Amino acid sequence: MLKKLDVYIIKKFLATTFFILAVIMALAVIFDVSERIDDFVSRDAPIYAIIFEYYLNFIFYYSNLFSGLIIFIAVIFFTSKLASDTEIVAILTGGVSFNRLLYPYFIAATLLTAGALYMNHWVIPKANKARLNFEEVYIRNKFHYADRNTHLTLSPTERVYFESFNASTNMGFKFSMEGYDGNQLIYKLNAKTFLWDTTKTKWVLRNYQERFIDGKNERLVGGWQKDTTLAFTPDEFKKRTSIVSTMNYTELSKFIEEEKEKGSDDIIFYELEKHQRTSYPFSTYILTLIGVVIASKKVRGGIGLHLATGIFICLIYIIFIKTTTVMATNAGLDPAIAVWIPNIAFSFIAYLLYTKAQK
């Protein structure tokens, strides 16, 4: 059963969070408009599309992305205000324990975490789809290049590699295809360029060379041009890595499994996206505890000192996230571990601060 104190703190928590969120998003929209206005005008973007397809979904995406840090600042701000008005001291001296004081904070944090989880896995992907479609048409240039040095597994016996692919001309460079019998290489095809023929719906290999391997015997065949059918089309190269942000949880899980079967080099990025959708909302609990512990003490610097401390902790947290993400993409760290390490580390920090909090 909630008491007046619980309702008071929950209202303060949520009201401050949404107020700060509204202010930050308003500033973000203003800055983005000033940067994008030339694109909107030059490409005749409709007002309706700008407002409801782009900026409405822009607000959804970025407010949810930074919700944990915004909540942290909100907790510090209004708790510091309570402390400076000696309300925290009055609550504690009135017989309310510090643990009991945390109760309404964690109720509000639970509401926000549950909302963020639902948004991340189901609502935001749909919003991103509309936002990214708008960006493709009215803001950025069309996609030109697939990722460099792309590897594809077409089947258990066929593997493909190419250095680059230009989607505007449907032409790629330095193509290679290998065929296997078990672990034994039996066929290799190299071509300096490969082109998608839209009329024949086939690939055209130019300046190619084929090697047929039978034990110690090899046969070479070469030529200027060769038409061939391969188990992929240019549409597969036109996908941006950010396409995963348009998929809900079920779609993303299925997509990752399909890409694993193809041997995609971008699996790490997809798995990071999947795990971050869960880990980021749960940081709300950790940052809420740290915020309450820091801001509940009345200090000479007041709200200013508390906010400065909070911003510093936010920067450390962001740097930590970026570091572990780089470790996952470049050093082979498991994506699930990479996204949860910052939360685990800051959980220990939160516990140490909690043990030294006024009781």
pLDDT tens string 200-242: 888 999 999 999 988 888 889 999 999 888 877 776 665 555 6
Q: Are residues 56 and 160 in the same domain?
A: no
Q: Are residues 66 and 31 in the same domain?
A: yes
Q: Are residues 75 and 172 in the same domain?
A: no
In angstroms, the CA 102 to CA 341 distance is 24
Report the pLDDT averaged over residues 112-127: 94
- The predicted structure's pLDDT at residue 101: 93
201: enclosing H helix or E strand: none
Q: Are residues 69 and 186 in the same domain?
A: no
In a domain, 319, yes or no: yes
Strand residues in the chain grouped as ranges (E):
150-155, 158-166, 171-181, 184-197, 202-214, 217-228
In a domain, 253, yes or no: no
- The predicted structure's pLDDT at residue 160: 87
In a domain, 255, yes or no: no
**Range name among 14-23, 234-243, 280-289 with the lowest pLDDT average:** 234-243
Residue 97 has pLDDT above 80, yes or no: yes
Report the pLDDT averaged over residues 114-136: 91
Q: Are residues 223 and 285 in the same domain?
A: no
Residue 134 has pLDDT above 70, yes or no: yes
Residue 143 has pLDDT above 50, yes or no: no
Token pair for 212: 């047929």
Q: Are residues 128 and 9 in the same domain?
A: yes
- The predicted structure's pLDDT at residue 301: 66
pLDDT single digits (tens) 153-168: 777 888 888 888 776 6
* The pairing of beta strand 217-228 with beta strand 202-214: antiparallel
In a domain, 127, yes or no: yes
Amino acid at 38: D
Q: Are residues 8 and 76 in the same domain?
A: yes
- The predicted structure's pLDDT at residue 240: 53
Contacts of residue 127, defined as CB under 8 A and 6 or more positions apart, other chains included, come to 56, 57, 60, 61
Q: Are residues 98 and 154 in the same domain?
A: no
Quickly count helices (H) and strands (E) in the chain: 11, 6
In a domain, 134, yes or no: yes
Q: Are residues 50 and 98 in the same domain?
A: yes
In a domain, 282, yes or no: yes
Residue 146 has pLDDT above 60, yes or no: no
168: enclosing H helix or E strand: none
Last residue of a domain, one of 216, 236, 256: 236
Domain extent, residue 291, equals 4-140+266-355
Residue 105 has pLDDT above 70, yes or no: yes
In a domain, 163, yes or no: yes
pTM: 0.76
Q: Are residues 13 and 63 in the same domain?
A: yes
Give how many domains the chain has, as a whole number: 2
What percentage of the chain carries pLDDT values higher than 70? 93
Q: Are residues 186 and 334 in the same domain?
A: no
What percentage of the chain carries pLDDT values higher than 90? 50
Please identify which residue in the block is written with the tokens 């030059």: 42
Report the pLDDT averaged over residues 180-195: 90
- The predicted structure's pLDDT at residue 11: 95
Q: Are residues 73 and 130 in the same domain?
A: yes
**Range name among 5-14, 182-191, 201-210, 226-235 with the lowest pLDDT average:** 226-235
Per the CB < 8 A criterion, the answer to whether 141 and 168 are in contact is no
In a domain, 252, yes or no: no
Which pLDDT band holds residue 144 (cuts at 50, 70, 90)? Answer: very low
**Range name among 91-105, 116-130, 260-274, 319-333 with the lowest pLDDT average:** 260-274
